[in-house]
């Protein structure tokens, strides 16, 4: 094949085939296939292929010596049309495959965006539940102190203000410094000690490096709240146990408490249901939660990769 023949084929047939490709890709598929008008698509595609085949033959006639004549023999219209039909079908097939592939990827991206928006909205809702839930319990504590005319009421209000400042201003990011989260837990524990007139028996320990770790905020508080709400805090022989251990990038948080005699069946309510849902969304496959609900005791152990 000479360079003149190659140039004619490239310019003539290339432009025609590309035109057929984009006509199907941009017009026919959106108008008919996307709307499931299969019969209309076939009715308009068949004459289009014939028309483009005639157009290719017209180009061939213009350059008859390069295309239709070979070794003294001239190719007939019928034979030539059958040959061009195959190439037209290939371009129709390629444009259809490309269109549906692009639409599939676009749809997948849209679905992922919608799912991310749904998860973000759900997380915001779950997080919004924490503040009223915590505030309700804390206000009950302060109300009890005020009702008893306790001198520790101002200190309790101050602790609550520090806690609320953290919840409103410092835990809006996806993750916070672990040491700040633990300071928040300590303020809550101090508030509970004030509630019990400093007669609460709590075995709270933190082991490991916590200064350079980060955690999703307000994940641990529900376990502590549950222990104080449903547990016995004023029994020196059965203190509330809060044990946090950090090893490399793994955190283990163990909480154990003795149950109230009149409240043995209460097992957490909205707090633990909320935190377990947040763990599923924020630490998928990266955490384990073990709960042991015995007759007289209740314990939970959370292990997660920070």
Would you kindly state where each structural domain of the chain is located, as residue ranges?
3-110, 150-305
Mean pLDDT over the full length of the chain: 80
CA-wise closest residue to 52 among 12, 10, 9: 12
How remote is the C-alpha of 235 from its chain's centroid?
A: 44
> What pairs with residue 289 in β-bridges?
302
Left if phi > 0, otherwise alpha if psi is -120 to 50, otherwise beta: which for 235? beta
Q: Between these two residues, 258 and 143, which has the higher pLDDT value?
A: 258
Q: Between these two residues, 118 and 37, which has the higher pLDDT value?
A: 37
Domain 150-305 in this protein, CATH class: alpha beta
What tens digit of pLDDT does each residue of 217-254 get? Answer: 888 988 888 888 888 888 888 899 999 999 988 999 99
> What pairs with residue 298 in β-bridges?
257, 293
Written as six digits, the tokens of 153 are 């009421």
Asked if residues 61 and 12 have their Cβ atoms less than 8 Å apart, the reply is: no
**Locus of tokens 């449903």:** 230
Q: What are the backbone angles phi and psi of residue 151, rounded to the nearest 5°? A: -70, -15
Asked if residues 45 and 20 have their Cβ atoms less than 8 Å apart, the reply is: no
What tens digit of pLDDT does each residue of 152-179 get? Answer: 888 888 888 888 888 777 777 778 899 9
Q: Quick one: pLDDT at residue 119?
A: 64
Q: What is the pTM of this model?
A: 0.59
Q: Quick one: pLDDT at residue 72?
A: 45
Q: Between these two residues, 296 and 116, which has the higher pLDDT value?
A: 296
Q: Quick one: pLDDT at residue 149?
A: 79
**pLDDT of 65 higher than 60:** no
Determine the Cα–Cα distance for residues 216 and 66; give it in Å rounded to an integer. 72
């Amino acid at each position: 094949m000479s360079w003149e023949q190659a140039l004619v084929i490239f310019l003539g047939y290339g432009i025609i085939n590309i035109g057929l490709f984009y006509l199907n890709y941009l017009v026919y598929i959106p108008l008919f296939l996307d709307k499931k008008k299969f019969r209309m698509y076939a009715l308009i595609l068949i004459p289009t292929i014939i028309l483009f085949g005639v157009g290719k033959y017209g180009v061939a006639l213009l350059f008859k010596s390069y295309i239709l004549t070979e070794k003294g023999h001239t190719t007939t219209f019928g034979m030539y049309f059958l040959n061009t039909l195959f190439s037209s079908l290939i371009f129709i097939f390629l444009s259809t495959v490309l269109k549906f592939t692009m639409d599939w990827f676009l749809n997948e991206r849209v679905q992922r965006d919608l799912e991310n928006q749904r998860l973000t909205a759900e997380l915001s809702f779950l997080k919004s539940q924490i503040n009223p839930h915590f505030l309700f319990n804390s206000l009950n504590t302060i109300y009890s102190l005020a009702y008893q005319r306790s001198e520790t009421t101002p200190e309790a209000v101050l602790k609550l203000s520090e806690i609320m400042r953290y919840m409103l201003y410092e835990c809006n990011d996806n993750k916070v410094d672990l040491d700040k989260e633990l300071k928040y837990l300590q303020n809550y524990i101090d508030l509970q000690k004030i509630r019990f007139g400093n007669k609460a028996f709590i075995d709270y320990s933190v082991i490991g490096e916590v200064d350079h770790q980060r955690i999703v905020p307000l994940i641990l508080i529900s376990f502590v709240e549950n222990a104080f709400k449903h547990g016995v805090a004023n029994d020196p022989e059965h203190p509330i146990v809060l044990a946090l251990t950090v090893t490399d990038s793994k955190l283990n948080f163990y909480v154990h408490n003795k149950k109230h005699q009149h409240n043995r069946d209460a097992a957490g309510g909205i707090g633990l249901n909320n935190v377990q849902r947040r763990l599923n969304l924020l630490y998928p496959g990266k955490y384990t939660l073990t709960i042991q609900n015995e007759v007289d005791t209740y314990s939970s152990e959370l292990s997660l990769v920070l």
